[in-house]
Structure 1
């Protein structure tokens, strides 16, 4: 029997940098890494997003992040710090691993995702995110 998605996420978490809410908030305060919200537009509309996030639905991430892709977007730079998040941390762990495979050298994900961020009383906004 093959791996399950749970196994894939667990493996990804062993291969990428997992940031706590406090670590992610500090990184945003210190250096303004590119913060990427991987959730679908409907999720963002319902739940809001972390201020300053770039919206990049998970299905488009590799296309937008790969500098050699015809769909590359300027806000994605393999040499710049990048922090990814989703609803609970699964998609962002997988996506962080994918960006590492694309040559991103300073990529991390928010462990626990937006749910953990909100649970700790961190700010969210319902304004249209960058890149939407």
Structure 2
């Protein structure tokens, strides 16, 4: 008898059990304190349609590991394994998986916004249009 193949929901649940899941209040507090890099990992069309949390850097999920790895030719300066990083997506699934991936790349102070942008806006927090 074979073991059932895990679903994407299983992968997300496993990732969430291994990472820091922040509330909208916690993320807002971190932003207000400063020194955090906020990364929006949604697709470009989502960003255009729904806006972003003020100050967020856009890095689509498909490129996050390449942008985050200092040894990658695609590395972006906004990403630092030594810095404080918070990721978010639309509802928290993709950002949970991406946060786990950054941990695997050596990021130690990385977390995600649990519930994503949907939770952020449901709590009445502002978004801004992407330039």
TM-score, structure 1 normalization: 0.95
**Aligned residue number for residue 113 of structure 1:** 116
Corresponding residue for 1:85?
A: 88
The CA distance in 1 between the partners of 2:110 and 2:33, in whole Å, is 16
Does residue 70 (structure 1) correspond to residue 73 (structure 2)? The answer is: yes
Looking at structure 1, the residues matched to 63 and 14 of structure 2 have their Cα atoms a distance apart, in angstroms, of 22
> Which residue does the alignment assign to 2:98?
95
Match of 2:128 in 1: 125
**Counterpart secondary structure, 2:38:** strand
CA contact 2:38–2:57 (8 Å) conserved in 1: yes
Q: CA deviation at 1:64?
A: 0.4
Is there any run of 5+ residues in structure 1 with no aligned partner, and where?
Answer: none
Please, what TM-score do these two structures have when normalized by structure 2?
Answer: 0.96
Q: Which runs of 5+ in 2 are unaligned?
A: none
Q: How far apart, in 1, do the equivalents of 2:71 and 2:35 lie?
A: 25
Q: Do 2:47 and 2:130's aligned partners in 1 also have CA atoms closer than 8 Å?
A: no
Measure, in 1, the Cα distance between the counterparts of 2:33 and 2:54: 15
Q: 1:33 aligns with which of 36, 39, 46?
A: 36
> Deviation string for 1:9-61 (max 9, x for gaps)?
00000000000000000011112300000000000010000000000000000
Match of 2:21 in 1: 18
Equivalent residue pairs, number: 128
Tell me how large the CA RMSD over aligned residues is: 0.6
**Looking at CA atoms only, which structure, 1 or 2, has the larger radius of gyration?**
2
